Structure 1
């Protein structure tokens, strides 16, 4: 047998062994704890939804799925950690339009590529935004808020869940459309922002509905307008921006599950199939919908073009608001 033939046989055996190992590892997957990273503080709506899904994944996969909160840098800290994690399916992330879209335009060095470094597992849906104000702010409607903001530009402050977050960009879009100016106060997630609104130290926020739903229902702040085409069934008394004369300032913040890009396809398929099945369970749908989150489950192939379109949309919003990278 010639040396070249021997070499080809050896290479074939190595390749076959690698394929067998991949298939075997996928078949055995998971055989230890899976970590789901939430790149925001505990207690916010993203965290709550992640914990619902993680709990169900643990039941369906027969292994614990733990949620780890790695907040910081507008979600980039936790997202970067997952991008650099071993691509074996044991580390995944619950990301959104900020971590896997806006950060590419708003952070000079996010430390990862939102498209090239990740494989989508499932699109979950979107958070609609709702304008809330502190209880003692004399604005019960969007036109009244605009009037107050225009009387003294920059005096009102508005809180967001971080530079480049949906709540930040959606408010910048609103100010561009209405000719108003308010001062931005970014927070590291929804929980501290909500606390400051209730304490009366933040005037207004265009927050995701799940992050403020229970608080305005309890009278701890006032909801004055929802930035979506229709009213939300969880907050039927809150009129839309369109109903109040603002027709071009709607925005939503999507959320989705991702794994590192080089994760073996059989593992990706197993994770994806499990998450999609969980999001379609009637009891899970009910629990998540009650939070104010609008479910719109997409498999990876359906999510990829949606992701590309959303990145383009938010890039245009960033440009329109003249927001510079930091």
Structure 2
């Protein structure tokens, strides 16, 4: 009887403890970190924080954003590539971190394809040509004429060597035969500050990073580097409308986890991120930034990723940009 009683008590204890054990081992059971490889305050950071807020509610655990800027986004991206593959550290990357750095950094410290598992394609940052308010150019053709009059005198800012804003401008210069001096920054926020302050002449910056300043009149927009006008900035004409073709360039963005993360964790993260991006309130907030949403699940995004890497490699080659 004693043995039977002890066995019964053991089974009862196991039954009581089992649910708590399951809860402790379910994913996620602690804080999830989204690394943004750029400074706080830019559009990439803003989108990551919108998603992090939704995920915190969905998971019942805090989801925090960790800004780790440096080396054209390679510092933060490298940290995720080498993080434990348990789903608790992911990255919000883009065409720079998961494409261009492979060709423009001699040692980025990771492989953009082999070291990462896509969680969700988010969409694209369209680029806008913006200038300081007192620059004597009211449209793209006037800018081209100004640059040709004194080659190299005008400077242009970017969010770093190999960023979309850098390569898009290099492509524009190659297409129009002009020369300007490159001034790289560690992210969109400091770049925009310098244009507003009049210390940088021009940037082919992502629209979300400059839309507020365009609307406030603290800088001027000359063109959108996309086939069509953006719904959030309908007054800004495209490059094509102003006689410049083959110079359009959008910068895609996506969430990634370390490649060896278990599929079950990848599925949980992917579904939650996609649900967030499809949530009406979150979609509205992101679209109002000027970002173009085009949500893709991992299977749909993988071929897109490879296609985009090939496209930007071609842009780098045509622009003659060398690895650093």
User: Structure 2: 5+ residue runs without aligned partners?
Assistant: 1-21
Contact 2:23 2:29 in 1 (8 A): no
Deviation at 1:54, TM superposition (A): 0.4
8 Å contact kept, 1:26–1:267: no
Give 1:61 shift: 1.1
Q: Distance in 2 between matches of 1:36 and 1:226?
A: 30
Counterpart Cα distance in 2 of 1:54 and 1:140? 40
Q: Is the 8 A contact 2:165 2:204 kept in 1?
A: yes
CA deviation after TM superposition for structure 1 residue 236, in Å: 0.5
For the pair 1:148 / 2:146, whether they are aligned, the reply is yes
2:12 matched to which residue of 1?
A: none
Structure 2 residue 316 is matched with structure 1 residue 325: no
1:257 match: 255
Contact 2:86 2:261 in 1 (8 A): yes
Cα pair 1:173 1:249 within 8 Å, conserved: yes
Shift of the alpha carbon at 1:27? 6.5
* Cα distance between partner residues in 1 of 2:234 and 2:185: 28
Unaligned ranges ≥5, structure 1: 1-23
Distance in 1 of aligned mates of 2:251 and 2:77: 17
- Matched residue, 1:118: 116
Quote the Cα distance in structure 1 between the aligned partners of 2:177 and 2:99: 26
- 1:20 equivalent in structure 2: none
Q: Distance in 1 between matches of 2:140 and 2:322?
A: 27
Aligned pair count?
303
Q: Which residue of 59, 62, 68 corresponds with 2:60?
A: 62
Backbone CA RMSD of aligned residues: 1.0
Match runs of 1:232-247 below 5 Å? 232-247=230-245
8 Å Cα contact 1:89/1:263 also seen in 2: yes
In structure 2, relative to structure 1, the CA distance for the partners of 1:131 and 1:26 (3 Å cut) is farther
Kindly name which structure, 1 or 2, has the bigger radius of gyration based on alpha carbons.
2
Q: Which residue matches 1:210?
A: 208
Of 76, 79, 100, the residue aligned with 1:78 is 76
Contact persistence 2:116–2:257 (CA under 8 A): yes
Q: Deviations over 1:227-255 (max 9, x none)?
A: 00110010000000000001110000000
Would the aligned equivalents of 2:119 and 2:255 in 1 still touch at CA under 8 Å? yes
Check the 8 A contact 1:159/1:187 in 2, yes or no: yes
Q: Which residue of 1 aligns with 2:15?
A: none
TM-superposed deviation, 1:296: 0.1
Residue 181 of structure 2 is aligned to residue 183 of structure 1: yes
Query: Given that residues 146 and 180 in structure 1 are in contact (C-alpha distance below 8 angstroms), is that contact kept between their aligned partners in structure 2?
Result: yes
Name 1:293's counterpart in structure 2.
Answer: 291
How far off is 1:216 after superposition?
Answer: 1.0
Tell me the distance in 2 between the aligned counterparts of 1:251 and 1:261: 28
Runs of 4+ in 1 over 2 A off after TM superposition: 24-27
Does structure 2 conserve the Cα–Cα contact (< 8 Å) formed by 1:141 and 1:225?
A: yes
Q: Secondary structure at the match of 1:88?
A: coil
Take 1:147 and 1:217, find their aligned partners in 2: how far apart are those partners? 26
